[in-house]
Chain A
Amino acid sequence: MPRPFGARNDKNFMEKINIKIDGKEYSADSGQTILEVARENGIDVPSLCYHPDLQTRSTCRMCLVEIKGQKDLKTSCSTPVAENMEVLTESPRINRARKINLELIFAQHQEECPDCVWFFNCQLLKLAKRFGVKITRFPDRKIQRKITQCGPIVFDQTKCIDCRNCVDVCPVDFLSVENRGADISIENSQDEWKECIACGQCILHCPVGAIEGVGEFEEAQELGIKKKKMRVVQFAPAIRTSIGEEFDLKPGEIVTGQLVAALRKLGFDKVFDTSVGADFTTFEEAGELLERLKSGKNLPAFSSCCPSWVKFVEFYYPEFVPNLCTSRSPQTMLGGVIKNYWAQKEGFKPEDIEVVSVMPCVAKKYEIKREEMKINGLFPVDKVLTTREIAYLIKKNKIDLKNIAAGEADDPFGMPSGAGVIYGASGGVFESALRTVYFKATGKNPAGDEFKRVRGQEGIKINEITIGDKIIKSVVVNGIRNARKMLEELKKNPQAFQAMEVMACPGGCIGGGGQPVPTNSQLRKKRAAALYDIDAKKEFRCAHENPALQKVYKEFFVSEEIIRPILHTSYAPKKKSAIMTLKNSKETR
């Protein structure tokens, strides 16, 4: 096992070190790598395979530097700083090696720029310009390689540069390195006990766009054609603080109003906020939690908003399927409310309405097609576009998101509670549920920050929550590897927890597989913090306070018979899905 570098938080490593980079003095923490120190100080050392979320692998060789007194060039990503080290990050020697190395990388990567997830932000092209490389110096050697689709994930080997970030980030080890030498390739697992859970972290961590969500970006363009009488769009909680990054706004900038205006400009008849759907989810889920605590059945209760987590349980831990709360996820919740309650009210047939969701997530594309989602034979949501896809569409239609006059989402699903907004961050679903559980148990609303202990980016957050005379043993998890640990713990000790929230992606949906690239912990932190800022300023912090929700329950959801099919779903153990081979990346299914 390589030693973990970048261990800045480790107290043993907190010794200060003086180093010189390109002739200037810098102070660094021992244990940091040269690359980390350089980038922290604004020195742009190029790298493709380095990602702060992952352990250093040093396969791309772009981050080479010269160190005084050492004969060989060293990769700065793997070399720890040392006292009085003198480093050069640019020199004729370094640049010669980088240039030809980059030409060799280009020879692996078939360019298909116009519909690449990195189109607006391509690191390869930036480096090509910087080092003056001829990107066609060698003929592409991977044109004949295959393109595969597994669920909503498309893997294009003709673009892959074999850096292995996807292999390392995949939380279920679905991807592996096969063969050796020039025949090396990244393959989907054929193992019948391994399944892709569609979290899309591989997409975020691929430096060259070899992996994309299905339909990215060809399908987004079909939106130009309106197929039904009424076309509705809803946008997820986590979008409003992340999409700004696609338009050169500061990370974490809140752009809810601009996003609404842009969506309207794209031609949607109604713009609704999925956070209102989240309020419905909270209301139902809080009820489920209380009921289970009372009956002692199916504990711990698992959150079920994250389709990757749900699939993970269904495939890898089917014995825990009954623990998943049956309340629908916010997007299918709102889709169902739109196509049933709202349709009736507005005089539409459900089949006359097309519901499009904008999600920070690739797995949501899979979720809407689950048979279990159907209500009276109809899917509540018709199409999912990721944050990246909607940003692409906005740019393509020359809409200036940065400067557009803010709009307001439409009634009656335009005004969420604060609880509905924090769904986008790890802990948000549970905190929202707790606010309503508190109300249901005590008849009073909690203080806004009563349960803020469950917030934060840590992968596993264990808390005992006291509400009235109840103590809820809870765990909030982000990252499937962490979830696996907790499930193993539960196998040994079924009483360990009574409530468990899991989000597959790091930090929750703000770090989702459909979010802008790049994504890293700094960006995730800022996106999450902004969601909590929105929450703090809301008049209503609790889901049950939302007047829209109260109205719908009063008018429509008057009995369990009506509530069950529309606001709840079901789960069942799942088998491995097919891996399809495509002719080209446009031929997705």
Chain B
Amino acid sequence: MADLIEKIKDSGLTGRGGAGFPTGKKWEAVKSTPGKKKFVIANGSEGEPAVGKDGWLLENYPEEIIAGIRLALETFKAQKAFIYLNKNYFEKYSENLKKIIRELPIEIFREPGGYLCGEETTLIESLENKRLEPRNKPPYPTEAGLENCPTLVNNLETFYAVAQIAKGEYKQERLYTISGDVSHPGVFELPENWPIEKILHKTLNWPIEDFFVQVGGGASGVILTMEELENKVTGSGAIVVYDRKKTDPGTLMKKWLDFYFQENCGKCVPCREGVYRLRELLKQEEINWELVKEVCLVLREASFCPLGKSVAAPLESLIMKVIKR
């Protein structure tokens, strides 16, 4: 057991929630930080549009998820673990999970809010019944998380991968959620280093017409053109395909911004004010693109948490590559 962290490190596994932090390093931090109690949290908030891999795992491999959590509990001698699920997943999968959990100290927790709860510090605030907002980092959850104790927060898929690593069955694969204007949408398990082009071909999703993709997540993902498909998939593994003929960029931007406006906690200036202003600016008949770009800049540079920082990437890339402003 002592060398599980080494094995994780050797595997090169990175967090599957989106931020891509090296999992071995995170585990090591929790392990080495002294604490009266330690906690393990499996994040199944999955609030990002066009991502469905955690749901797919809950449907198909719940035993593997629990196995991964169990390994973490044992590694840290942690008091308790939580499986943190959005409302849908909670309704759908709790019963089955409980049957697998049995006597293990694992609680299934129903997410009280929306997208932002998937951000690890907001998630912890919600477990502590506080206002649903991110905390300052440092201190990181690995040092002072739930109840101020060292806490491991990993995505469900990360625990799934850890279970495979422990069994020696990890194949450097990850889950891709493919959606949009494709013929075979769904979740696919394929090598993590494959370029987008190869993934689309392999899954029989290569579109014939003129298209662009959004990669990473259905709101926060960056826009890539047909010429950029040698790239790997980042973030939480989503690929959304947009048929150029059918897609109105203005509608698309409005959809993203409505989502960010809805999910905004209001804590920091750039995100609260910036998202509000972007929606207003894009309603204008003559759009002031320079100002839109400036607001994107402040969101990216100055926002408190990843939600605010991630507003800019899809907009900036869409404006540059598709709208060409």
Contact = CB atoms under 8 A, between A and B. Distances in A.
B304 interface: yes
The list of the 5 closest CB pairs from A to B, nearest first, reads A184-B266, A181-B264, A104-B273, A97-B301, A182-B276
**Consensus secondary structure, chain B interface:** helix
B224 interface: no
Nearest to B137: A78
A64 B267 contact: no
Given A72-B309, A104-B270, A161-B269, 8 more contacts: A61-B304, A97-B302, A104-B273, A141-B276, A162-B266, A180-B132, A182-B266, A182-B272
Nearest to A180: B266
Contact of A97 (B135, B139, B298): B298
B144 interface: yes
B60 to A, nearest CB: 35
A138 B277 contact: yes
Nearest to B281: A138
A537 interface: no
Interface in A34-82: 56-61, 64, 72-73, 75, 78-80
Interface in A72-127: 72-73, 75, 78-80, 93, 96-98, 100-101, 104-105, 107-108
Which of A108, A138, A180 has the most CB atoms of chain B within a 10 A radius of its CB?
Answer: A180
B275 interface: yes
A104 B138 CA distance: 26
A360 to B, nearest CB: 32
14 contacts: A58-B136, A61-B270, A64-B301, A97-B301, A97-B302, A101-B298, A104-B273, A137-B291, A162-B266, A181-B261, A181-B263, A181-B276, A182-B261, A182-B276
Contacts of B303: 61
B282 interface: no
A324 to B, nearest CB: 36
B297 interface: yes
A56 to B, nearest CB: 7
A137 to B, nearest CB: 8
Given A2-B139, A3-B138, A100 B268 contact: no
Interface residues of A, number: 38
Contacts of B131: 177
Nearest to A79: B138
A493 interface: no
Contacts of B24: none
A183 interface: yes
Contacts of A58: 136, 268, 304
Interface string B235-272: 00000000000000000000000000111111111101
Nearest to A182: B276
B274 interface: yes
A179 interface: yes
Nearest to A58: B136
B302 to A, nearest CB: 4
Contacts of A59: 267-269, 304
A1 B302 CA distance: 23
Interface of B: 131-132, 135-136, 138-139, 144, 148, 261-270, 272-277, 291, 294-295, 297-298, 301-304, 309
- Report which residue of B267, B275, B303, B304 has the largest number of chain A beta carbons within 10 angstroms of its beta carbon: B267
Given A100-B295, A181-B264, A105 B269 contact: yes
B281 to A, nearest CB: 9
Contact of A101 (B132, B262, B270): B270
Contacts of B144: 1, 3
Interface in A401-422: none
A100 B136 contact: no
B262 to A, nearest CB: 8
Contacts of B304: 58-59, 61
Given A1-B148, A97-B298, A97-B302, A61 B269 contact: yes
A182 B138 contact: no
Contact of A61 (B261, B268, B294): B268
B30 to A, nearest CB: 17
A3 B144 CA distance: 8
Contacts of B276: 141, 181-182
A97 B144 CA distance: 30
Contact of B302 (A61, A177, A179): A61
Given A3-B139, A138-B277, A179 B266 contact: yes
Interface in A1-46: 1-3
Contact of A100 (B138, B262, B294): B294
B136 A105 contact: no
A557 B265 CA distance: 62
B135 A2 contact: yes
B173 to A, nearest CB: 28
A493 to B, nearest CB: 29
Nearest to A80: B138
Interface string A441-465: 0000000000000000000000000
The winner among A72, A97, A182 for most chain B CB atoms within 10 A is A182
Nearest to A176: B131
A100 B297 contact: yes
Contacts of A107: 273, 277
B9 to A, nearest CB: 22
Nearest to B298: A100
A1 B295 CA distance: 31
B132 to A, nearest CB: 8
A72 B308 CA distance: 13
A166 to B, nearest CB: 15
- The listed residue with most B CB atoms (<10 A of its CB), out of A56, A59, A108, is A59
